[in-house]
Structure 1
């Protein structure tokens, strides 16, 4: 083991720890105990977890150390967003309605991670049904600031070095935004490539499973297991990428620091050998953030029918108001919205004609002050509506000293290549 991490394996990236675990140069119990020490130190301030079972996890670690290698995630502690069903933990979905809910089976993504050797350490805080009413989690870099949402606890747990890997979901910006605020790598794969069975649904049209790590190789490792796609872990490229600098129609909503982060990253990549071109999105993209919002709440009104009918007093006012928006979107408007997304999706060939990746903002700015909100999903809505693979890459800090980074977006279904280009980008920026 590197001397840098010999005293504290919790500082290892998941991919580095996985290599050591596969070589039996690091024990699963040794890594887990380091993570538990970190949790004991940081959790009282960060509040990333809603349930934790150290004893069961330690028993699993000892079993893995004494038996054969299980798979690519062998011995890696894993945090699971509390939107996923787990047969050994309460799954509350961030709502008091499900405070005592114990599923009888794991979500498909969780089961696949366990099969690959991951140790599910516990459940991390999500906002209410993965919407906008926050839980108690605080930003690991400054507890006075939001960690983002809805995958709040998962991103914060990675940012505080409590675990090397964490599961998340994204409907609007629930992976990209908390990854940005907490200074970690977050990856949302193409829509539909990872099974959503056993995950509390918000929007059948948009919900996507992804995850968090400390580098691109980490999220490639995690999501490749859930997608049953080993090729996602092959991160080599034979040339520098063609990168489209995409300011988007929402560019002026971004802070000066965010715009500078995107443009300076483009310049650094150009100097590293990438072919960087300016990309102007087709007119069909202009209304996508608003269309995404309407599709999301029309879906949510139906998905949460039982909760709003039988437990209305246990749904927050914030969510009640948003479900009321969904109720007003009739089938004709919904079909029209979906047709407009389909038109924009057809225009993707034009968007990616001269580039392999789009470089664009992840968020308006650094994490906002206060814990009563989780930030605006504006800069991810377009890509979520289109179902494109997107990754947040931390690149530095902003004027408040909090993490700042960029979003990298690939063509639909190009996840293996997108991860490889993102890995190249990360290495050229000397971030890994």
Structure 2
């Protein structure tokens, strides 16, 4: 994989020009794209910007985000060839930080559940996850050092786990969703993929103009609470093993690690997520569903068919549960700095007819808290499995620092 931090170091030291850094990413993409299929479209001759912290950094944009320079097709024939007149807010944030947008990455239709043709770089017979399939795979294959995705259920953290890359789903609305195709306005969150936690932190800090998101020179030792999410069902062997390995590594590195029980209302919120998601999806995708029903992706269309009778009262009740759960979760962080839990049930499932299960992600998306994926082990078939580090709402810097602590601890373990 390409390290954003290393590219920045070399560019700042004058060892590598921004144009040469972009050329390296283009060469890597040319070498791997035919076998992975991570991009929908690419700029064959992009030019590096001369200024900004992300100069020389090639970025892929999930194809549900508006880009004036590329079509935005949203994984659907309904929008084939569609071009917006301007860029989404997050795309402009990248450009203003000096980044070079090199192409659009694959997405499931409207960031839902119908798989893309993208392959997992570690094992082509397994899914890369979704809905941010192309962004995760492009970074994992070493094509580009940074990519944007979105998460409504588990569409950043889960593909990051399956593809073995670092990723952050930031606190809700740290990154604006203006110009991003909406599925659920209560849940949709823009996230980042990169090779490691430091790379993710640098990308997010540069985009937002928040230097406090950069990792400190000395990482504080966190108090870690382990959450197994029993209400979401048992994990696969590889998922459970990843969590145990990460917890033991963190403890050996000096962290305080112990189990945490979540309030019952939090488990209720896990169930409320799907009610909120699908009720809002019916409004966000009303035109597509009514006027282009036959062109809708089959799994998404079936999901909307099944949920179209949801009453407003059920939605209101689910929103109330979510609000109470956020208050209950905030109290947990009075005793611990971060939570450590599963990023996915296990390694990427075999076959390309599914993007995997988001059951260990959707609660945290609804809670709006920052989540960072850290690769924890390599399972059978060369498939990565990650864990996620979660901090209180707004504590993205703390989440990144603790994730870096876990990342380093895991590396020490394998020496």
TM range (shorter): over 0.9
Alignment partner, residue 15 of structure 1: 5
Could you tell me whether the CA contact under 8 Å between 2:246 and 2:406 is conserved in 1?
no
Q: Is this contact kept in 1: 2:226–2:257, CA < 8 A?
A: yes
1:277 is displaced (CA, Å) by 1.4
SS of residue paired to 2:240: helix
Q: Deviations over 1:374-431 (max 9, x none)?
A: 0010000110111110011002211332101211111111111211121222222227
**Counterpart-to-counterpart distance in 2, 1:409 and 1:85:** 29
Are residues 1:43 and 2:33 paired?
A: yes
Q: For the residues of structure 2 that align with 1:252 and 1:204, how far apart are their CA atoms? A: 27
Determine the C-alpha separation between the residues in 1 that align with 2:272 and 2:191: 23
Paired positions, count:
413
Residue equivalent to 1:219 = 200
Contact 2:220 2:401 in 1 (8 A): no
**In structure 2, what is the Cα distance between the partners aligned to 1:201 and 1:349?**
27
Task: Provide the rounded CA distance (Å) in 2 between the counterparts of 1:75 and 1:86.
Answer: 19
Return the offset for 1:54: 1.6
Distance (Å, rounded) in 2 between the aligned partners of 1:155 and 1:258: 19
Deviations 1:288-314 (A, max 9, x none): 332111110111000001111211111
Partner of 2:62: 81
Secondary structure in structure 1 of the residue aligned to 2:178: coil
The Cα shift of 1:237 comes to 4.8
* 1:158-237 to 2 correspondences below 5 Å: 158-237=139-218
For residue 251 of structure 1, report the CA deviation from its aligned partner: 6.4
111-120 vs 281-290, greater mean Cα deviation: 281-290
CA deviation vs aligned residue, 1:194-246 (integer Å, no higher than 9, x gap):
11111001100000011100111111122223333221114345631000011
Query: Could you tell me which residue of structure 2 aligns to residue 150 of structure 1?
Result: 131
1:239 & 1:137 partners in 2: Cα distance? 38
Which of 13, 18, 21 matches 1:28? 18
Q: How does 1:103-118 map to 2 (within 5 A)?
A: 103-118=84-99
Q: Which runs of 5+ in 2 are unaligned?
A: none
The answer for the alignment partner of 2:293 in structure 1 is 312
Runs of 4+ aligned structure 1 residues displaced above 6 Å come to none
Task: Assess if the C-alpha contact under 8 Å between 1:237 and 1:421 holds in 2.
Answer: no
TM-score of the two chains, using structure 1 as the length reference: 0.92
The answer on whether the counterparts of 1:394 and 1:406 sit within 8 Å (CA) in structure 2 is yes
2:245/2:376 contact within 8 Å kept: no
* 2: CA distance, partners of 1:309 / 1:419: 42
- The superposition leaves residues 129-170 of structure 1 with CA deviations (integer Å, 9 ceiling, x where unpaired) of 000011110101111110000000000000000000000110
Could you say if the C-alpha distance between residues 237 and 413 of structure 1 is closer, same or farther in structure 2, counting changes exceeding 3 Å? Answer: farther
> What is the CA RMSD across the aligned residues, in angstroms?
1.5
**1:351-430 to 2 correspondence within 5 Å?**
351-430=332-411
Instruction: Return the offset for 1:33.
Output: 2.0
> SS of the counterpart of 1:379?
coil
